[in-house]
Amino acid sequence: MKLFAALVLAAFPWQVFAAQGPLDKTIQTISKQSLKAVKAKDAAVAVLPFLSLESERSVLNKQIAENLTVEIQQSKKIKPHDSDFTFKLFDHLNLSKSTIIGPRIAQLIGRLCGTDFVLTGTIQRAGEKLRIDSKLYRTETAKVEKVTESEISANPALAELLKQPYVTVPDGPADKDPRKQAVPDFVKLMDEHSQLQNEIERNPGDASAPFL
């Protein structure tokens, strides 16, 4: 991934720097708006890679989630959370490009991650624009606490990052699964993991509550 990023920088040097400002501002806006909705102290927030119709797991999808995680966890009222585990769980779920993460799926992901909130989003390309939307779900109630919508220019560098798939992280030994330490009642939640996967297969659009 680092090599690819270097190649993109070499191919589109000024576009990368030109895009960084608007993208950073969008990430900061999503972070600030989400933090306002998280009123409790010591709350944990799981940030999922954003979904897009162009790529199921693009470098840009994950980059936005990683940057959002850094922004959010800088807040004093946010409890640190293992983002690597969140990304691994996301990879295990095999979410397709047509999957819409609605309340039920978001709630189960939050329970599996052991977090109070789940932040998810979508990236949609429309001509020369990128629309970046997000939703913050409260795990306990499965209710939407905050919605943000933004639009930035889709220059060649960002368009390329949106197409390039990121490399998934291989699993470690089963006895070192972080859920055994971080999440209570691990066995029960693994059953919910299977339930979640089955639910995604049956209803990838989570029609009970569409994202948009």
What's at 61, amino acid-wise? N
Q: How far is CA 142 from CA 76, 106, 117, in A?
A: 24, 7, 9
Give the dihedral sign, CA 31/33/39/44. negative
pLDDT, mean over the chain = 76
Alpha carbon distance 64, 31 (integer Å): 11
- 193 and 112 in contact (C-beta within 8 Å)? yes
> Of the spans 13-22, 128-137, 167-176, 202-211, which averages the highest pLDDT?
128-137
Q: What are the structure tokens assigned to 87, written together?
A: 């990304």
Q: Tell whether pTM > 0.95.
A: no
Give yes or no for a contact between 146 and 76, defined as CB atoms under 8 angstroms apart. no
What separation, in Å, do the N-terminal and C-terminal C-alpha atoms of the chain show?
Answer: 31
- pLDDT at position 52 is 83
Each residue's pLDDT tens digit, 136-182? 999 999 999 999 999 998 888 888 888 887 776 555 544 455 444 44
Is the pLDDT higher at 64 or at 10? 64
What's the pLDDT score for residue 188? 60
pLDDT of residue 64: 92
Query: Exposed, middle or buried, 79 (CB in 10 Å: 0-12/13-18/19+)?
Result: middle
Residue 42 has pLDDT above 60, yes or no: yes
Most distant CA pair in the chain, distance? 50
Least confident segment among 29-33, 74-78, 196-200: 196-200
